[in-house]
A = this chain, B = another copy of it.
């Protein structure tokens, strides 16, 4: 009657957020991080600038457990970035928690990163050869050190008496250039929020593998009518104020100086602070926010290949990524799946929470009634234990439970978003049968996962991926279903009505 979940999924690395120009920026970042908590539960942190100094707090744990009211008395300022981190095996150390903060010649830089570099080792070696030191094994720290080095090379201006304003401006340019130069050097997936004492910069990799979007706060009117949309418009016709082709940038004076901006991994974080979504940061784009203006710099040819698993599993259904609603995408994958792999049945159910959307779509397209079928216990957190060895196995019965009245004597279609190792699926089918299901038809709203990810997703090795080692019929037998079908890669593309995604884990073909 029950089933374990979660352990048998791919997992994302983190969530990032940055806010510029808001009173109590840290507490707004706190709210945003709670809304991004699903992207990582290992550690969380917030760095905030009061214009002169950056203060940082980061710890192991959930956002809600880490930050107390008294913390916000110290986390004062109008510019802040935040980070939540996913717990990869064995890596629960405070050293790898983000944001990273470095203080040096020109001041301080804090950085939050979602993604993974493929040329991390080479860059770290290069930096180490140049004398850099690291306090963690994180590739995110490598990005920070690169920015620092470029900033120094660009010649930070420490200010001359009587000319502080000018040097400040020169510094802002040096720093922006350093971020752009770094973005060109690093390869892989990256969505970054980087801040100095008086700037906030967002960066997305040239393939836009990891998501990042831009919004405004305290602006309840529809974004269409508002000045910020000019940024969106202008970037299609960027003004060429620099000679360098990749430095084409759209500068929007912040006439609306009082309006705070927000950068976040998902649009649900913008909603969490009652903000208004403006647009996604483009692949290969740098967004620079200062007190004076907000600029867009296209540092690389955009070749959009958003990680398709953001839609399949990682993102929250209420987020919109690169113009596509996550929930809508899940409906459509379910619909296509119903077309590709129909079966007569009495009920369609989804595996909570990420299988629900596809199940709803499948139900709509097939006409088979949608039901709940399975429920997940939401009170199971990190402190939940199995007091005796014997009970370790039965922990799964506490996590998931079947709803017998939905299943007994019925032909059941169960939709999961993906199959990774297959262990969960087998247990799930068993549970459905024990709860009286007459037939169990397993449908998967993503194609078979056959290849590990090198761009930030925690995947088991190839020979642990059941679709890599088994044929479809073998898998069906293994999990004990009456029938089994995956959506086709073609069908998935059809569902999206586009093909601008990284599908490396299905195809073995990676953008980088």
Report A's interface with B, CB cutoff 8 A.
1-2, 23-24, 26-28, 30-31, 34-35, 37-38, 56, 62-65, 67-69, 71-72, 95, 100-105, 125, 128-137, 144-145, 148-149, 152, 220, 268, 271-274, 316-318, 320, 325, 327-328, 331, 356-357, 360, 363-364, 369-372, 375, 377-381, 383-388, 390-391, 394-395, 397-398, 401-406, 434
Q: Would A24 and B356 be within 8 Å (CB), given that A135-B103, A379-B64 are in contact?
A: no
Least CB distance from A316 to B in Å reads: 6
Please name all residues of chain B whose beta carbon is closer than 8 Å to the beta carbon of A63 when the two chains form the complex. Answer: 379
CB < 8 Å: which of B132, B364, B395, B402 contacts A369?
B364
Contact check, A148 vs B135: say whether CB atoms are below 8 A apart.
no
CB < 8 Å: which of B130, B271, B360, B388 contacts A27?
B388
Q: Measured between alpha carbons, how far is A402 from B372 in the docked complex, in Å?
A: 20
Q: Would A34 and B377 be within 8 Å (CB), given that A271-B397, A385-B67, A394-B273 are in contact?
A: yes
Q: Measured between alpha carbons, how far is A104 from B126 in the docked complex, in Å?
A: 11
Q: Measured between alpha carbons, how far is A76 from B68 in the docked complex, in Å?
A: 25
Stoichiometry, as copies per complex, reads 4
Least CB distance from A70 to B in Å reads: 10
Least CB distance from A448 to B in Å reads: 26
CB < 8 Å: which of B104, B130, B152, B272 contacts A401?
B272
Least CB distance from A406 to B in Å reads: 6
CB < 8 Å: which of B128, B137, B385 contacts A105?
B128
Least CB distance from A100 to B in Å reads: 8
Q: Measured between alpha carbons, how far is A316 from B376 in the docked complex, in Å?
A: 10
Q: Measured between alpha carbons, how far is A493 from B375 in the docked complex, in Å?
A: 26
Least CB distance from A435 to B in Å reads: 9
Between-chain CB contacts (< 8 Å), 23 pairs: A24-B391, A27-B386, A31-B397, A34-B379, A34-B380, A62-B379, A64-B383, A71-B387, A100-B135, A102-B133, A102-B134, A102-B135, A103-B135, A103-B137, A104-B131, A105-B125, A135-B135, A271-B401, A317-B375, A318-B404, A320-B405, A325-B403, A356-B372
Question: Besides A64-B383, A133-B148, A370-B370, 14 other CB < 8 A contacts?
Answer: A24-B387, A31-B394, A31-B397, A64-B381, A103-B136, A103-B137, A131-B149, A268-B401, A271-B397, A272-B401, A320-B404, A327-B406, A356-B372, A364-B369
Contact check, A318 vs B375: say whether CB atoms are below 8 A apart.
yes
Q: Would A384 and B328 be within 8 Å (CB), given that A102-B134, A397-B274 are in contact?
A: no
Q: Measured between alpha carbons, how far is A273 from B386 in the docked complex, in Å?
A: 12
Please name all residues of chain B whose beta carbon is closer than 8 Å to the beta carbon of A128 when the two chains form the complex. Answer: 104-105
Q: Ordered nearest first, which 10 A-B pairs have the shortest CB separation? A: A325-B405, A105-B128, A27-B387, A102-B133, A72-B387, A104-B133, A37-B379, A328-B405, A318-B401, A64-B384
Contact check, A398 vs B35: say whether CB atoms are below 8 A apart.
yes
Contact check, B387 vs A69: say whether CB atoms are below 8 A apart.
yes
